[in-house]
Structure formats: C-alpha cells, structure tokens
Chains A and B, each alone.
Chain A
Amino acid sequence: MRGKRFNAVGIIIFLLFGNLFVFGSSHTSENATPIKIGHLLSQTGSLKDKGEYAAMGARLALEENNVLAGFFGKKFTLVSESFTHSELAPQMALKLIKENNVVAIVGNLNEQESRLVSELTQMQGVPFFNSASKADSLRGVDCHRYTFHLEASAAIYVSAIGHWLIHKEKLTRWYFLTDDSPANIKIYEQAQTFLNKENGEEIGHEIVSANKSNYHSILKKIKRAKPDAVFVILNSDKQINFLKQYKKRGLPFQVVGAYMDIVQLWKHEAADLTGVWPTIWYHELFRYSARELNNRFFKRFNKPMDSAAWANWAAVKIIGEVVIRSQSTEGKKIIEYLESNRPFDGHKGSALTFRNRDHQLKQPLHLVTPRTEPGKREWDILKVVTPVPIPGLKVEGNSLEKLGVPHSECKCQLEPL
C-alpha cells in the first residue's frame, strides 16, 4: 500500500514540478561565478517583432546550458541589451564586453548593426554569433575571424528555393518582384546571378517602393508576362499583402519567396496565402530530434519555436557547450574549438559545424508552403515541401558544404588568430 501511494504521489509531484526541479537549483551551481553571455536585441524595423522569439530561444538554451554546467560546478547567465537606433549597437556590445565581461555575444541584429558589432568584437577578441542578418557581405568582404553565422545567408536561401524551382519543378522563367530597400536589392542580385548560372531566364523585374500596398498594376503585368514562377523579395508584411492579392486574383504561376517571417503568417489564414519559402526551422518538424526541441520550447513558452528562436537558441547553446567542453572562456580558445569542426546537435538530424572559409553554419533548411487542409492549432498553417539539400538531387551546390556562394567566389579572408 505504501508503495502504491508513493507511486501515485511521486508521479504527480514529478509531473507538476519535474521540469522546475531539473532546471532549477538542483542542477545549477549557485555558488559558482556566473559565466556571462551577451545578447543584443535590435528593436529596429522587423527585428522588433522577432525580438520576443529570439529572447525565448536564448532563454531556453540558457536553462539547458545550466543543466550541463551544474554537473561541472559552473553556471551561465544571459545579459541582454536592446536598443532602437542601429548606431547604438557597438556601444551596447562594448558595454557587454567591458562592464559585464561577457565571454561571447549573440546578436539578433540587422546587417548594419551586425557589421559594426562584428568589427568591434574582432578588435576586442570576443566571439560574436550573428543570429539574424542574412547579408552575404558579412560572410564575404566584411567577414571576421571572431564572427560566426547561425542565420543562413541570402545566397543560401536563394539557392535553396532556386534548386527546387529549376531542378525539381523545372520552372526556369522567373519574374522578380522586389522593393527598393538595399537588403532586398542584394537578394535580388543573388537570385539573378543564380538564375543566370542555371541557364534560366529573367522575363520580368518590378521594383516597388518599400511601402507600396496595392499591387493591382503589377499583377496585370505578371499575368501578361506568363512566367513559370514569380520570385517575391519583399519584407514579410508586404509579401503577405502581395500574396493575398495574388491569391485573390487567381493567377496560376508558382510563387516563391527568398524568406518569410513565419510568425507573421500566423496572423493569417492559409487559404488566403500561396507560395513556397525556405526556412531554417519550423515548429512542425517532427523528424529526427526536432520533435523533442519543438516540444520543449512549446512546453516552456506555450508558443511554437520559429527560426529566430532556433537561431538564438542554437547560438547560446553552442557557446555554453564550447565553454564546458573546452574548459575555457578565452575568446581564442572558443574560436579554435569552433574551427575544429566538432559537431553540434541542432536537432536537425545532422551534425552541424561551421564552414571554415566563412564561418557560416552548415545546416539543413526546409521549404514550406500553406496547408490545403486545416492544421490542429492556430499556428499549424504550413506544411513541409522538402528538406534542403533536396534528397536525391545530384546537382552542384545541393549540399551543406556548397549551399550559397561557391567557394571560388567567396571573398572572405579571415584574419589570423
């Protein structure tokens, strides 16, 4: 009887408090001097909306790091700074380094902010992990030895969707729609270069103002041009607006985007949308161990894990693991460890490492598209089209090593350590 009582009570207690117990004081080393990780959260532009998910991802990783650290008498803390003006980014980074003695900085920053922080951290000898900027220049002419990239580059996103369009769907005549922002113009140039290399044809290109909201005249032009595919390079809110108008108009051409903030899609009905987009994470990935990570995140925050959450989770998780495994908080030792290509488990079914030539994380992506049938939850409005690299597709560039800018065209020259 006593045993049965313990059985029932024990299970109830652990169901109620199991995670608290495990993530709480039992495992963290309360008396240890905290090892600090800096987290910069830009509140500029579209990053303002992503900040919440970036912060949640980092927090989950911190808690997981502290389970591991607790076993070895160590403890991590996260020191977060947010700002609304890009020029403040390096000041905040310097504050984290000088006042807080952080061992590394994770930056959910735009291209300009990332560039400034990358330059600063290089000079300070502190590792910097870019979790938001897609700019290829950060992996090219502006690359730095102390900077690593969790977010995929624009060229990676373009080649992910481009290989699918050309080699799987055989859609080679593209019509581009971009806005006039420098970041999206660069992505357009990447896509144009990709299309030329693949012997495709650009049959139209429309550049619109970044605040355009009515696409009536453009839809007429697309209809007349009869492309195989419409390649949309607009910020996510504008892209969704365009897609709704496109869907309503009933045009038959395949629509794709270079990127999409999936959190913004959750506010809309799948039936109103059309398109295929690459993403580095999706909350309905249940293959490999993605299910476990998605479950842990949802259980912790009652929200699904998006790409920003994943990139920031991965960055903080990597820093924690490297510090524990290398038994060092020295920047140089962290860089050496990361360049040694010891694999990291990002719950993507593959061993993840950084590409030595430009410090880009080599990681699988997924192409997603709106569901035709309703999902279980309000967030379940997409389904996976294919993983990338695309299984069974034997073309140059369809591999983790070669996705994005080819080695021969990489302009990154990393400084000596």
Chain B
Amino acid sequence: MNQLIITLVLVYFSLLPELIARPLAYVSNERSNSVTVIDTATDEVVDTIAVGSRPRGIGLSPDGSILYLALGRDDAIGVVDTKSGKQTGEISSGSDPEAFSISPEGHRLYVSNEDANTASIIDTQTHEILAILPVGIEPEGVAVSPNGKTVYVTAETSHTVSVIDTEALEVVSTILVESRPRAAAFSPDGNRAYVTSEIGGIVSVIDTKTNKVTGSIKLEQGDKPIKPMGVVVSPDGKRIYVATGWANLVAVIDAATNTVTTYIPVGMRVWGLALTKDGKKLYTANGVSNDVSVIDTEINKVVATIPAGEGPWGIAIEM
C-alpha cells in the first residue's frame, strides 16, 4: 500500500509541470535575479525560478522547452530548462549582454554586445560562436524577421540599425533612424519593421525590402515627454504596441495609418512587452512597480496586475 502511495506521489510530481495550464509567460526580474512564471490562463504566478545575475533580455525556444536569459553581470546567456524550472547552463556572450533574439527554428541566438559594438551569432546546439559582426555604437535591440533571413540590430549612440543577412553572416545594410534606437519588431509578413527611438520620441517604420525608413510615428501626450522603448506587433499585423518607460503608458498604433490610437496606463517604468499567440492579451513588465500589467487588447484596458520580482524587465510567452 505504501509503495502504491509513493508511486502515485512520484507520478504526480513528475507530471506536475505538465499539469500546469499553458501557455506560460516568463518575466525576467533584473534586481532579484529571478524569473516569474505566470499562467496566462489564470494570470496567476505559478513559479519563481532563481537565475544568474541581472537577467534582462529573455526568449523561449520555439517548442518552449528552453528559456534563454541575458545575464548582464555574468557576461553570459543563461539557459533554463522550463520543464524542471532550473537554470542548467550558460553560454559565453561577451560583456554585459542586454538583449538577444532567437531564430524561428531555434537554432541560433543573435546577441547584441553593448561594450564591444558587435553582434554575436551563436549556435544554440553547440554554443559555438558562428560570427561576431561589427555593428553601430552601443548595440541593443535585436529582432529576427519571421522567415529568419534577416536580423535587425539597433545601436543607441550611432542611431543606426544594422541589417544582418543570416545566410551570408554579414551586415548588408545600415539604416539611420532617430536618436537612441532601443528596440525593433517585424510585422508578421516581414514586410515592415518598427524601431523605437527613445530620445527622438519616434517609432520609425522601415520597408524591409528596401531597408529604407518609410514613416515616422511621433509619440506625445500634451507636454509630457514620451520615450518609446519595447515594441511588439499583433499577430494580424494591424496593431503595434509600444512601451514608454517612465511615461507608464503603452501606446497603441494603427499600422494602416501609422497613428497612435490610444495610450493605455500601466505600471511604473514599463519596458518589455509580449503578446499571447492569439494576440488577445498583452503583458507588460513594469520595472519600478515590480509587477506585470495584463491588457485585454479588444478593449485596450488593464484587466489584471500580477506581482513579479524586483525590476521586471522582459517577458516571453509560450506560443
């Protein structure tokens, strides 16, 4: 009888991760060196994972089995096994990694190295560095196109976006955008990219076929300065959501008209954003209020606020 109970308990605990409803959202907390795990079905915290030092950039492998984290003070990309909820390894990345992006099939990481003014391309299987490419000064935001053929790397001090051909492993073009570009995101069809410029207060619209800026969307609300930071595009490509840092707002942009349709008040110092696969819910990492706002994108309102660790920075959601 005891053996049966023990067996059942073991089976229960071995299946526990599978029993947790999915998809899960993972939030990097840069000051508490942890990842908050949120069940997006219930919007409740289901786990907290201890990770390396100063986690900021965050991304999931396509199957959701591996979580990658830019560990700024460890000079590495941390590797977390999402099934066990443990950090299982690190990949050397150069100093103070902040942001990275994962190729669509999950075989490569594209990492910006701020101090070295380079972008590293890393094989996720072998951890081999496939290339280190010079980009602009103070590289930060990294975005991979939906077909995986192009990577955009923003550079804050040179105000540029370096365009990397992922087959040739070289920078094929450099685009001048507004002052202090921070983040980039592609439209689902890959035809457009959106780049946020913090000091310029602008979201630049880029035609990815020509790598030319075709539009500029000014973020402003009265005389209150608004600095665009994190950016995501809805799955249907119709809306762009932009985090605005200390303005504590998320800007909603109509992609057809390139105009801001509304600003949604969220928590303090909103930075990272992530959408659920169906685009119905938007999660925001609020770095000073130490929480995550959940926005219902049909009504553009916050419907839940979830406590996180200290200094939530980025979010990744299972697809």
Contacts and interface: CB of A to CB of B under 8 A. Distances in A.
Interface of A: 2-4, 6-7, 10-11, 14-15, 18-19, 21-22, 26-27, 64, 67-68, 71-72, 289, 292-293, 295, 321, 324-325, 342-345, 350-351
A344 B134 CA distance: 24
Contact of B136 (A19, A67, A292, A345): A67
A165 to B, nearest CB: 27
B118 A292 contact: no
A351 B157 contact: no
18 contacts: A3-B126, A3-B127, A10-B129, A10-B132, A15-B116, A19-B117, A21-B134, A22-B118, A26-B134, A64-B157, A67-B158, A68-B160, A72-B174, A292-B157, A321-B159, A343-B178, A345-B156, A351-B225
Nearest to B175: A71
Given A4-B127, A68-B137, 18 more contacts: A3-B126, A6-B129, A11-B92, A15-B116, A18-B116, A22-B116, A27-B134, A64-B157, A67-B136, A68-B136, A321-B159, A342-B179, A342-B200, A343-B179, A344-B199, A345-B199, A351-B200, A351-B201
Contacts of B180: 289, 345
Contacts of A325: 176
Contacts of A72: 174, 176
**Which of B127, B180, B199 is the most central at the interface, judged by chain A CB atoms within 10 Å of its CB?**
B199
Nearest to B114: A292
B134 A11 contact: no
B39 interface: no
A56 to B, nearest CB: 17
A7 B128 contact: yes
Interface string B116-135: 11100001001111001010
A321 to B, nearest CB: 7
A68 B177 CA distance: 11
A11 B179 contact: no
Contacts of B178: 343
Interface of B: 92, 94-95, 113-118, 123, 126-129, 132, 134, 136-138, 156-160, 174, 176, 178-180, 199-201, 225
B118 A18 contact: yes
B117 A18 contact: yes
B158 A68 contact: yes
Contacts of B127: 3-4, 7
B132 A14 contact: yes
Contact of A7 (B95, B129, B199, B225): B129
B199 A351 contact: yes
A331 to B, nearest CB: 22
Nearest to B202: A343
A71 B160 contact: yes
A89 to B, nearest CB: 32
A72 B173 CA distance: 10
Nearest to B93: A11
In the A-B complex, the 9 residue pairs with the closest CB atoms: A3-B128, A71-B174, A18-B116, A22-B117, A345-B199, A345-B179, A68-B158, A345-B180, A3-B126
Contacts of A292: 114, 138, 156-157
